[in-house]
Structure 1
Amino acid sequence: MRILFMTYFYPPLGGIPPQRSIRLSRALKRLGVDIVVLTTSNRQGWTDLDPSLLEKVKSLQVVRTPSPGTDALSKKRPLLTQVPKLLLIKLMNVLFMDYMFAWNFTAFFKAFSIIRKSKVDFVYNSTPPFSPFLTTALLKLFFPKIKVIGDFRDSFLKYPGIFETGNRLKNRLRYLFCRLWERLLIRHIDIFFTVSPPIREEYLNRYTLIKPGQFHIIYNGYDEEDWADTGSYKRGDKFRITYTGTFPLLCSPENFLKGYALAVKENERLKEVGEILMVGSFKRKDQADFNSFPYPELLRVEPPKPLKEAIRLQVISDVNLLVISSAGKNQVVTGKLFEYMRSGRPILALAPEGPAREIILKSRMGIVVDPDDIQGIKEAILKLFRDWETDALYVNPPEGFVEQFNSCALAKKFIEILERYL
């Protein structure tokens, strides 16, 4: 089995977007699949870099092509000289799904060359971004026997915040063009994967041409090797709640901080031994929430860490915080959830009804509160704090529950599905 594995986000780009592709590509390689990764060679304006991730993918064959004109605007050049680039980015965002659209110009020719030189059974594309499906559709026209795999980490038309921010007319036009592009490109995909049942149901309901047997769920999971040499938990003098990562659009720490402030008012001992650690790249809105927190001495905000260090912080934390917005994100089962589960510490999850909430409840690894229930958040913090004070803060998941999300176990399921198409 030979797979051309297209993914826009890949090391050294860091943060959440590349993690699923890293885990899956590495696991497929370990299981003997012949895989060629096709990705971008420039930063595309992505500010979250983690060069340490390059070590994880050094055993894979990685081919890179540039994404023309989509690097970040330079601070060293006059803004006026960069107007054409700015207009190009804006145009691609409205008419062509996303500003990464230009990658198709180089990705298609490189993919075409790879397929011509050696037989490829499957072309895989990880989204978002969604625009590279144009490349897979064109490849399907030239090589009709190849099976195209679409892996939807998020819903295209319900991607949180994408049509809700900024100019209303621009958002409406963007939605109409994106809907048109999706209709044109979806018919060229043979096998569909996604990260959660709601996204699968959305696409099956929207497109009758997609058969239920074509659409499969592979959760994000975790890579066991990431936990080597990350230490172990030891109760310290501080009751620490840790958040690692970023807050996506329509998601913020505001309600958690409000709940924590109420908890401090009710139990002032939290002033002495409480600690909140926020590690990541945060939006202006998040920074404003941090600045308005009434107990700044309890809050530490640190810049993004390499993945290994972020996991170590999860392992040694008393509680790990998960925040999923009630506005459009209930479809998603974020990879952070599986990292937290593997780290083995209690999870405080602010999550609406949806698959992430269900998994946490089944795992018996934490407390789940509606993200808009500030009183409920306060009560959850106080309960976790009482358990910490009495040395009763631990988790007891069902046997084998966490292990089912190991990336190798998920990759085996992925391979079994693909073998039906050979």
Structure 2
Amino acid sequence: MSAERKKRVLFITYYWPPAGGSGVQRPVKFTKYLREFGWEAIVFTVANGEYPERDETLLQDIPENLHVLTAPTLEPYSLFRALTGNKQPVNTNLFHSRQKKGLLRRLLFWVRSNLFIPDARIGWFIPATRQLNAFLRQEKVDAIISTGPPHTVHLIASKVSKKFSISWIADFRDPWTGIDYFDKLALTAAARRLHQRLEYRTLTQADSVITVSPFLQKMLEGISHRKVHVITNGFDEENFLHERPAPDVRFTIVHMGMLGGARDHRIFWQALATFAQQNNAFHEALEIHLYGKVDAAILESIPPVLLGNTHVEQYVPHTAVPNILQRAQLLYLPIHDCAIDVGFLPGKLFEYLAARRPILSIGPVHGDTAHVIRSLQAGETVGYTDQDALLHYFRERFQAYQQHEPFVASSSIAQFSRRNLTAALAELLNTHVPTPSTHGNKYR
């Protein structure tokens, strides 16, 4: 084997196309651009995953001739559907739903909380490690990246990286025990301790740890007492290269992605309803578009005056997203109302920035998302209960709409392009693997 061969990194990820949603885009975009920086990606993913969303269009972003390995898993959500009689794909974001749970669901929830640690994907651990052991006996890789959640991927990476003496980077898209729904799990004391032990072991044994926001960086550093790197999510500039469309004729407010109970900020609807009742021109021009799955309780709470203005489309292919965002008069970005809300940098924020349309965020006014929006002059962040500020911003944006005032967006968003973020990842990889080895993997 030539000493000048391209270095190879193995991505271990549960979410991979045809899975949809923000979680899958991070590994897909990294693999798309890594070749430009001297790294060849290999992807290891699940053969029969259970996804809350599917998006076949993301297959178009997979680089040509990418080596993708799979292993099957035992999915508890399939059993959940059978026991409950629910034939629809399971919403794995159960913890934010405001729908009541029956006795059987509460029992299954307890089982999920205490017997499936670190998460419901633990059934993938044994098939995945077996498959990777066989692969790595035959093939050389220079580094491993596990991207979670699910945090089962970190356990898989820990096992095989140790066995084959391969540098390992653990990527935390979300925290583990610090996630906003962790305390909603029906955990026994023993289960809680096991989560904490596995989290600490992952954070301290990985050669490097990366996460997606400064707040999460501090949280993980506090647990592990080691340096954690920040590589945020971002936008793919190739999706925004075509000619920009003109803004919508109507005053369109767009929310893109899942809208669960923890992002149900009633002041958004109350302020809109108040302004619509005060200003007939606003009511007639207003269109609210919710793209993605919306919690039933949210739909039931929409004020009657806004029902005719609100449109829900549960599925939109990702290829259509840039055009929708670039036409919107206002992009709505609600932040989870929870203990770690200041650390949320939602993936959709960066595509909102790339669309260069005004952003309205409801969330912590001193959080990471608010800082990005404020520093780039990309819109406004309003506190969870500040309805007066919200009404003021609606009036301000509607006046600008009526007077056809152009929105001048910041040009300083290149730091969040997927290509530049992948360059940062490649730089980190190079610190662990300065030159590719010409020898096979070694056992420890």
TM-score, normalising length: structure 2: 0.85
> Matched residues in 2 for 1:2 and 1:47: separation?
31
Please give the secondary structure, in 2, of the residue aligned with 1:72: helix
Alignment-derived partner of residue 219 in structure 2: 202
Alignment-derived partner of residue 119 in structure 1: 140
| CA shift digits 1:172-230 (9 cap, x unpaired) | 6653331122123333211111111111111212222x2x2xx211110111222355x
1:269-348 correspondence runs (5 A): 269-290=281-302, 292-327=303-338, 328-348=340-360
Q: Structure 2: which 5+ residue stretches go unaligned?
A: 1-6, 87-105, 434-444
> Matched residues in 2 for 1:304 and 1:273: separation?
24
Q: Do the aligned partners of 2:14 and 2:49 also contact (CA within 8 Å) in 1?
A: no
User: What is the CA distance between 1:30 and its match in structure 2?
Assistant: 4.1
Alignment-derived partner of residue 216 in structure 1: 229
After superposition, the Cα gap between the structure-2 partners of 1:91 and 1:177, relative to the gap in structure 1 and judged at 3 Å, is farther
Q: Do the aligned partners of 1:239 and 1:318 also contact (CA within 8 Å) in 2?
A: yes
* 2:280 matches 1:268: yes
* 2:181 matches 1:181: no
Alignment-derived partner of residue 123 in structure 2: 102
User: What is the CA distance between 1:287 and its match in structure 2?
Assistant: 2.5
User: What is the CA distance between 1:57 and its match in structure 2?
Assistant: 1.2
- The letter for the 2-side match of 1:307 is H
Q: Do the aligned partners of 2:9 and 2:141 also contact (CA within 8 Å) in 1?
A: yes
* 2:422 matches 1:411: yes
Please give the secondary structure, in 1, of the residue aligned with 2:170: strand
> Matched residues in 1 for 2:320 and 2:169: separation?
33
> Matched residues in 2 for 1:265 and 1:421: separation?
60
* 2:268 matches 1:256: yes
1:3-402 correspondence runs (5 A): 3-44=9-50, 46-57=51-62, 59=64, 60-73=66-79, 91-95=111-115, 96-144=117-165, 146-164=166-184, 167=186, 170=187, 174-208=191-225, 210=226, 212=227, 215-229=228-242, 232-248=244-260, 250-290=262-302, 292-327=303-338, 328-352=340-364, 353-397=366-410, 399=411, 401-402=412-413
Please give the secondary structure, in 2, of the residue aligned with 1:124: strand
User: What is the number of residues matched between the two proteins?
Assistant: 406
Q: Do the aligned partners of 2:144 and 2:161 also contact (CA within 8 Å) in 1?
A: no
User: What is the CA distance between 1:127 and its match in structure 2?
Assistant: 0.9
| CA shift digits 1:63-89 (9 cap, x unpaired) | 121121335348688859xxxxx9898
After superposition, the Cα gap between the structure-2 partners of 1:171 and 1:365, relative to the gap in structure 1 and judged at 3 Å, is farther
Question: Comparing 188-197 with 134-143, which one deviates more in the overlay?
Answer: 134-143
> Matched residues in 2 for 1:156 and 1:348: separation?
28
Q: Do the aligned partners of 2:174 and 2:211 also contact (CA within 8 Å) in 1?
A: yes
Q: Structure 1: which 5+ residue stretches go unaligned?
A: 81-85
- The letter for the 2-side match of 1:339 is E
> Matched residues in 2 for 1:349 and 1:2: separation?
40
After superposition, the Cα gap between the structure-2 partners of 1:77 and 1:157, relative to the gap in structure 1 and judged at 3 Å, is closer
| CA shift digits 1:139-188 (9 cap, x unpaired) | 133123x11111111111121223226x5xx3766533311221233332
User: What is the CA distance between 1:14 and its match in structure 2?
Assistant: 0.3
> Matched residues in 2 for 1:367 and 1:32: separation?
40
> Matched residues in 2 for 1:99 and 1:236: separation?
42
> Matched residues in 2 for 1:289 and 1:24: separation?
39
Please give the secondary structure, in 1, of the residue aligned with 2:127: helix
Please give the secondary structure, in 2, of the residue aligned with 1:250: helix
TM-score, normalising length: structure 1: 0.89
> Matched residues in 2 for 1:248 and 1:297: separation?
21
User: What is the CA distance between 1:393 and its match in structure 2?
Assistant: 4.2
After superposition, the Cα gap between the structure-2 partners of 1:293 and 1:331, relative to the gap in structure 1 and judged at 3 Å, is farther
Q: Do the aligned partners of 2:43 and 2:67 also contact (CA within 8 Å) in 1?
A: yes
User: What is the CA distance between 1:55 and its match in structure 2?
Assistant: 2.1
After superposition, the Cα gap between the structure-2 partners of 1:413 and 1:237, relative to the gap in structure 1 and judged at 3 Å, is closer
> Matched residues in 2 for 1:219 and 1:269: separation?
40
Q: Do the aligned partners of 2:31 and 2:63 also contact (CA within 8 Å) in 1?
A: no
> Matched residues in 2 for 1:142 and 1:346: separation?
50
> Matched residues in 1 for 2:113 and 2:35: separation?
34
User: What is the CA distance between 1:260 and its match in structure 2?
Assistant: 1.0
User: What is the CA distance between 1:111 and its match in structure 2?
Assistant: 1.8
* Residue identity (%): 23
- The letter for the 2-side match of 1:53 is L
Q: Do the aligned partners of 2:75 and 2:121 also contact (CA within 8 Å) in 1?
A: no
User: What is the CA distance between 1:58 and its match in structure 2?
Assistant: 5.2
- Backbone CA RMSD of aligned residues: 2.5
After superposition, the Cα gap between the structure-2 partners of 1:276 and 1:196, relative to the gap in structure 1 and judged at 3 Å, is same
> Matched residues in 2 for 1:356 and 1:313: separation?
22
> Matched residues in 2 for 1:302 and 1:184: separation?
42
> Matched residues in 1 for 2:31 and 2:156: separation?
20
> Matched residues in 2 for 1:318 and 1:339: separation?
15
After superposition, the Cα gap between the structure-2 partners of 1:104 and 1:32, relative to the gap in structure 1 and judged at 3 Å, is same
